[in-house]
Amino acid sequence: MNDKETKIAVVTGAGSGIGRAVAVELLRGGWSVALAGRRAERLEETAALADEGASLCVRADVSDPDDVAGLFAAVRERFGRLDLLFNNAGTFGPGGVPFEELPYDAWRHVVGTNLDGAFLCAQAAFRQMKEQDPQGGRIINNGSISAHTPRPRSAAYTATKHALTGLTKSLSLDGRPYRIACGQIDIGNAATDMTERMGTGALQANGEVVPEPVMDVADVARTVRHMAELPLEANVQFATVLATTMPFIGRG
């Protein structure tokens, strides 16, 4: 992209994992990227990994409406417009806890981050994309394999990811009059800090703990960039990117 064609993106959860990989991929591809996350030092580390593009680091908790408003105000002030939101910030919550023992505050934390946060960021992005000239933009929600098939003892995470699919579909419809496209990427076993346990063993539906294959997170980042760089007349509604031999299709 040349300067005239530079696109502006917001990536939430950009301090680690998938968010970091996507932010770096976009920056190296010539995008300007606002990196959002709870830890400012991790955002700075992400920005330092890319030697191209322009970055803006904004400490923000996506479950806090005031933080989200501040994030998008900073993007508007710095860049003047917004072309992409990668709604990525999320948490698994406590692992291995039986459903009947899941504390309500743990449930609320997962819902607040994964669902409330996605709603708040999408709403702020939607407003800006609707008001700017030229109008339009793209929202990509980070779903999960769990938006299709849950793991045992993952009620909070799975519920939010199923809800995120509904949000994606609603945004796709509501955005049509304003050239706002919305799609979702469902990811299975990308190698990040959050999925380290997959290599040593993950609880299966039959009660066994079995190591699972993982894939390079860079493959996810390239897929998100492809989705992001389509013209607004085209949209990847749902994409599933997963480690080829992980247990998902059929009986695994």
Tell me the pTM.
0.93
Give a yes or no: residue 176 inside a domain.
yes
Query: Residue 160 contacts by C-beta under 8 Å, 6 or more apart in sequence?
Result: 90, 110, 111, 114, 115
Residue 194 has pLDDT above 90, yes or no: no
Distances (CA, A) of 135 to 32, 130, 238: 18, 6, 23
Per-residue model confidence (pLDDT) at position 209: 84
CB 60 within 8 A of CB 36: yes
Question: Can you list the positions of beta strands (E) in the chain?
Answer: 8-12, 32-37, 55-59, 84-87, 137-142, 180-188, 202-203, 209-210, 238-242
List the catalytic residues: 157
Give a yes or no: residue 97 inside a domain.
yes
The C-alpha atoms of residue 195 and residue 16 are separated, in whole angstroms, by: 12
> Average pLDDT over the chain, rounded to whole?
93
- Structural domain including 62 reads 3-242
- The helix, strand and coil proportions of the chain, stated in percent and rounded to the nearest 5, come to 45, 20, 35
The C-alpha atoms of residue 242 and residue 248 are separated, in whole angstroms, by: 9
Q: What is the pLDDT of residues 152-178, one digit of tens each?
A: 889 999 999 999 999 999 999 999 999
Q: What CATH code is carried by the domain that includes residue 233?
A: 3.40.50.720
In the structure, what pLDDT confidence band is assigned to residue 216 with cuts at 50, 70 and 90?
Answer: very high
- Phi, psi for 108 (deg, rounded to 5): -65, -35
Q: What is the pLDDT of residues 115-154, one digit of tens each?
A: 999 999 999 999 999 999 999 999 999 999 999 998 888 9
Query: Residue 99 contacts by C-beta under 8 Å, 6 or more apart in sequence?
Result: 153, 155
Give a yes or no: residue 250 inside a domain.
no
Q: What is the pLDDT of residues 66-124, one digit of tens each?
A: 999 999 999 999 999 999 999 999 999 987 899 999 999 999 999 999 999 999 999 99
Average pLDDT over residues 45-63: 94
The C-alpha atoms of residue 100 and residue 138 are separated, in whole angstroms, by: 39
Please give the tally of structural domains in the chain. Answer: 1
Give a yes or no: residue 251 inside a domain.
no
In the structure, what pLDDT confidence band is assigned to residue 3 with cuts at 50, 70 and 90?
Answer: very low
CB 218 within 8 A of CB 21: yes
